[in-house]
Chains A and B, each alone.
Chain A
């Protein structure tokens, strides 16, 4: 084969993914003055997973109205078009480099390279599968993730089956229970391993209770039966260590088992180039500007951590977009990369196996964050303390609690100093918590910033 050159383009900013995070990021970066942007998206059209979420309930925070997924996406698409931001679809990014080269492939463009100044990864998340949660038994067709069934139903117009059982009470599972019922399939039940649902409360009510679909808490699928197509599942109760309790088995004759058993941020591109990954979230470690351990590479949305509401995905995308724009502006060609002062990444932090930061904030410039009692994970992983100006003062702590709490206090601390104290009637693992902070509220660069649940 003759060796030819790779088609090459140059853009200031590459956004990978045209879902809710990527679109918001591109718009925000544009509005912050960086107009040479390209969005690369693997799907046929921009919008991401929103396009198959035809139920309503999107945008209550952002637009103060209830939109469907495609309607919510359309609001951003209009803004993308208005600004003339370039969006390439059916374009799969295959590789990127720390020097901000991006390789992608598409039928129309071929195999191409883009040289850029900054990259925003908004690559979303993927669903955990049967293999990941190790359900034993036969391996027939008819066992699939809820999101895939949703795509077949809402995009392609196909039923995957008529007698359905759903494992996992995450929001996709709940939404699909209602959706399949409305289309005429019979949903025999939804099982949840935990003693409480991981979906939004409104979805439990509107998707299960309203249709008399039973919810089996502290239950899981013990085995799968069927040589060709699924014929039967065995459900059983689990104890508090998630072990099946003998004698509690019940059989359901179903042709379809939908799995809604968790979402995992999808970051193969970042992992390949050695970006540090958070052991709990499976997204990258980021500072308060959503910058990863490689300067100029940012992350937002569900590829950073799995969100409960799209409104917060968009907000996070905008933060990443503004930060990327600032990063690019500060790259002064005359003085090399020295202009990125204050946005230097926290490359040197490490996590131990338990997901705890093992490096103390020693530079005086960077504060490491640490989740304490009752907090599953805490983002950002570091806060740059070096250079505070009015427009970079604010930051948001995001986290989820490990179990449901009632009437407790959230404490944000540095050492023994309490920075913030918030009384909470309810805290649920299903809901992401946000605490708006100001860097100028921090008392010292010497101590970690911690968040904990307290009974006081």
Chain B
């Protein structure tokens, strides 16, 4: 019997795995997708929220505040790209000014440092903001994070410390055992564990409802976004928010950790948990709302649209509980879930102590081997590094300037990439203007070579997402 089975390897599952990996435990993570951080954790605003906005006294408020505080150390230990660029929530009319005032009071109750900026101060920080801005709430502790790297790094570090991860394995049934503990049946087998952590995101209600009498309901809430190329590092410096509404935090315009810009999200409930489609009408609304914040958004720099689903529980709350002995629910972790993940993981550890006795691992290492980032090196260091590691001289992605060496490294680490999207999420080939036109054939060849597969066996993401159909036999075929 394993000590812990964690269901789901999104940001929450990965954070939980890492938090438990410091103890002498036998831990298995089951993930139905082909990579960690693949669904909600891959399609969100990638913001480390300051935490002024959640309802004071709520779990969201405390998890957000603590999560934000934990990010600094975590990102340092795991070499995750994160920058505290600060956020500006702006008001352009009387009604929004009133909301801004109430947010200021809320920030005080939540214990979040903020500063109210005048129109001039705001425009001085962000000259491209709408001239209609009247005031802004500045939250200096807000940041941006590479959400893809976050999940990968947390899981890699957990695996470095002994956690095991099984991908493409979907939990179908969790059955409480009369002798204590649980049996977990998947599409590929069965295992038993003393503690279950339900971090199944959009599907966390279904997992929980199998064993608990209190029933939850995840109502997937879709957010659609635009991504712009990295055209000008000085276009926008902070995360710019509209004032929040009942539907969520509202539309934001923000730089990303790679100098791109992100616009969005919309917020609409959808019926299907796998409906990540975009639609023109919603995207037009997102764009119009973003242009109200920043009128001069250059439309010819738009390189991609995407949609993500928030795991919104009907109550609207984070559900963090030991619902029955040894069964830890992490349900309804929508925004600010990404920010809260290190704090939620500590909560999961606290709850597990009812069942498990936690003994520190003597050789636990909280740090991940740093990632080689050629573009952050000086020219001389880069030249010397490439001299000693020639694969880092072979550039395979022209838009994002990624070398073969970096791709190889991301394949061969723990929690390494096995798909084209996996490589993209880790070291960025395919994120640029040409959207994979140059790099994709190269990435397929490298993946095939390194994984001992044929190129046509390499997938974009999930097993059905083939890129190459079959070899041609040459000449005319009938």
- Contact residues of A with B, CB < 8 Å? 1-7, 42, 90, 92, 94, 103, 105-113, 126-127, 129-132, 134, 136-142, 144-145, 147-148, 151-153, 155-162, 182-184, 223, 225, 227-229, 255, 268
11 other A-B residue contacts (CB within 8 Å) besides A107-B390, A228-B465: A4-B387, A5-B383, A107-B391, A110-B387, A112-B383, A113-B379, A139-B278, A156-B468, A159-B472, A183-B476, A184-B476
Asked whether, in the complex, the Cβ of B476 is within 8 Å of the Cβ of A182, the reply is yes
A44 nearest CB across to chain B (Å): 10
Asked whether, in the complex, the Cβ of A158 is within 8 Å of the Cβ of B472, the reply is yes
Asked whether, in the complex, the Cβ of B403 is within 8 Å of the Cβ of A105, the reply is yes
A112 nearest CB across to chain B (Å): 8
Asked whether, in the complex, the Cβ of A105 is within 8 Å of the Cβ of B471, the reply is no
B396 nearest CB across to chain A (Å): 9
Asked whether, in the complex, the Cβ of B277 is within 8 Å of the Cβ of A158, the reply is no
Residues of chain B lying within 8 A (CB to CB) of residue A225:
277
Alpha-carbon distance between A317 and B386 when the two chains are bound, in angstroms: 33
Take A3-B381, A110-B387, A138-B277 as given contacts and tell me if A156 and B441 are in contact as well, using a CB distance cutoff of 8 Å: yes
A311 nearest CB across to chain B (Å): 25
Asked whether, in the complex, the Cβ of B277 is within 8 Å of the Cβ of A103, the reply is no
Task: Say if the beta carbon of B304 comes within 8 Å of chain A.
Answer: yes
Task: Say if the beta carbon of B460 comes within 8 Å of chain A.
Answer: yes
Task: Say if the beta carbon of B117 comes within 8 Å of chain A.
Answer: no
Asked whether, in the complex, the Cβ of A132 is within 8 Å of the Cβ of B303, the reply is yes
Alpha-carbon distance between A105 and B387 when the two chains are bound, in angstroms: 10
Instruction: Determine the residue in chain A with the shortest Cβ distance to B420.
Output: A141
Residues of chain A lying within 8 A (CB to CB) of residue B274:
227
Asked whether, in the complex, the Cβ of B390 is within 8 Å of the Cβ of A105, the reply is no
Alpha-carbon distance between A108 and B392 when the two chains are bound, in angstroms: 10
Among A5, A134, A162, A268, the most chain B Cβ lie within 10 Å of the Cβ of A134
Task: Say if the beta carbon of B111 comes within 8 Å of chain A.
Answer: no
Asked whether, in the complex, the Cβ of A110 is within 8 Å of the Cβ of B302, the reply is no
Residues of chain B lying within 8 A (CB to CB) of residue A110:
383, 386-387, 390, 393
Would you list the 3 A-B pairs with minimal beta carbon distance, nearest first? A228-B464, A184-B477, A92-B395
Asked whether, in the complex, the Cβ of B383 is within 8 Å of the Cβ of A228, the reply is no
Asked whether, in the complex, the Cβ of A162 is within 8 Å of the Cβ of B469, the reply is yes
Asked whether, in the complex, the Cβ of A229 is within 8 Å of the Cβ of B278, the reply is no
Residues of chain A lying within 8 A (CB to CB) of residue B470:
158-159
**B283: contacting residue among A3, A136, A229, CB under 8 A:** A136
Residues of chain B lying within 8 A (CB to CB) of residue A107:
390-391, 393-394, 404
* 19 pairs, A vs B, C-beta closer than 8 Å: A1-B377, A1-B385, A3-B380, A4-B383, A92-B395, A94-B401, A111-B383, A130-B435, A131-B303, A131-B435, A132-B302, A136-B280, A136-B305, A147-B437, A151-B441, A153-B472, A158-B456, A159-B471, A184-B476
Task: Say if the beta carbon of B440 comes within 8 Å of chain A.
Answer: yes
Asked whether, in the complex, the Cβ of A94 is within 8 Å of the Cβ of B383, the reply is no
Alpha-carbon distance between A159 and B304 when the two chains are bound, in angstroms: 25
Alpha-carbon distance between A54 and B66 when the two chains are bound, in angstroms: 60
Asked whether, in the complex, the Cβ of A136 is within 8 Å of the Cβ of B277, the reply is yes
B228 nearest CB across to chain A (Å): 10
Alpha-carbon distance between A134 and B228 when the two chains are bound, in angstroms: 12
**B280: contacting residue among A103, A132, A134, CB under 8 A:** A134
Asked whether, in the complex, the Cβ of B478 is within 8 Å of the Cβ of A160, the reply is no
Task: Say if the beta carbon of B279 comes within 8 Å of chain A.
Answer: yes
Asked whether, in the complex, the Cβ of A129 is within 8 Å of the Cβ of B435, the reply is yes
CB-defined interface of B65-94 with A at 8 Å, one 1/0 digit per residue?
000000000000000000000000000000
**A106: contacting residue among B380, B393, B399, B440, CB under 8 A:** B393
Asked whether, in the complex, the Cβ of B404 is within 8 Å of the Cβ of A139, the reply is no
A340 nearest CB across to chain B (Å): 29
Instruction: Determine the residue in chain A with the shortest Cβ distance to B227.
Output: A131
Task: Say if the beta carbon of B462 comes within 8 Å of chain A.
Answer: yes
B275 nearest CB across to chain A (Å): 8
A285 nearest CB across to chain B (Å): 17
Take A129-B435, A158-B470, A184-B477 as given contacts and tell me if A111 and B386 are in contact as well, using a CB distance cutoff of 8 Å: yes
Asked whether, in the complex, the Cβ of B465 is within 8 Å of the Cβ of A157, the reply is no
Asked whether, in the complex, the Cβ of B384 is within 8 Å of the Cβ of A139, the reply is no
Task: Say if the beta carbon of B185 comes within 8 Å of chain A.
Answer: no
Residues of chain B lying within 8 A (CB to CB) of residue A223:
277, 279
Asked whether, in the complex, the Cβ of A229 is within 8 Å of the Cβ of B379, the reply is no
Residues of chain B lying within 8 A (CB to CB) of residue A182:
476
Alpha-carbon distance between A228 and B464 when the two chains are bound, in angstroms: 5
Task: Say if the beta carbon of B474 comes within 8 Å of chain A.
Answer: yes
Take A94-B395, A107-B404, A110-B383 as given contacts and tell me if A134 and B283 are in contact as well, using a CB distance cutoff of 8 Å: yes
Alpha-carbon distance between A131 and B146 when the two chains are bound, in angstroms: 21
Asked whether, in the complex, the Cβ of B394 is within 8 Å of the Cβ of A90, the reply is yes
Alpha-carbon distance between A106 and B394 when the two chains are bound, in angstroms: 5
Take A105-B395, A158-B456 as given contacts and tell me if A228 and B437 are in contact as well, using a CB distance cutoff of 8 Å: no
CB-defined interface of B456-468 with A at 8 Å, one 1/0 digit per residue?
1001111111111
Instruction: Determine the residue in chain A with the shortest Cβ distance to B375.
Output: A94
Alpha-carbon distance between A147 and B382 when the two chains are bound, in angstroms: 33
Asked whether, in the complex, the Cβ of B468 is within 8 Å of the Cβ of A4, the reply is no
Asked whether, in the complex, the Cβ of B437 is within 8 Å of the Cβ of A127, the reply is yes
B 275-292 contacts with A by CB, 8 A: 276-280, 283
Residues of chain B lying within 8 A (CB to CB) of residue A162:
469
Alpha-carbon distance between A127 and B455 when the two chains are bound, in angstroms: 23
Asked whether, in the complex, the Cβ of A228 is within 8 Å of the Cβ of B463, the reply is yes
Asked whether, in the complex, the Cβ of B464 is within 8 Å of the Cβ of A229, the reply is yes
A244 nearest CB across to chain B (Å): 9
Asked whether, in the complex, the Cβ of B441 is within 8 Å of the Cβ of A148, the reply is yes
Asked whether, in the complex, the Cβ of A183 is within 8 Å of the Cβ of B472, the reply is yes
Asked whether, in the complex, the Cβ of B379 is within 8 Å of the Cβ of A111, the reply is yes
Task: Say if the beta carbon of B434 comes within 8 Å of chain A.
Answer: yes
Task: Say if the beta carbon of B433 comes within 8 Å of chain A.
Answer: yes
Residues of chain B lying within 8 A (CB to CB) of residue A7:
383, 387
Alpha-carbon distance between A268 and B227 when the two chains are bound, in angstroms: 18
Alpha-carbon distance between A390 and B385 when the two chains are bound, in angstroms: 52
B446 nearest CB across to chain A (Å): 13
Instruction: Determine the residue in chain A with the shortest Cβ distance to B460.
Output: A141
B 416-467 contacts with A by CB, 8 A: 433-438, 440-441, 455-456, 459-467
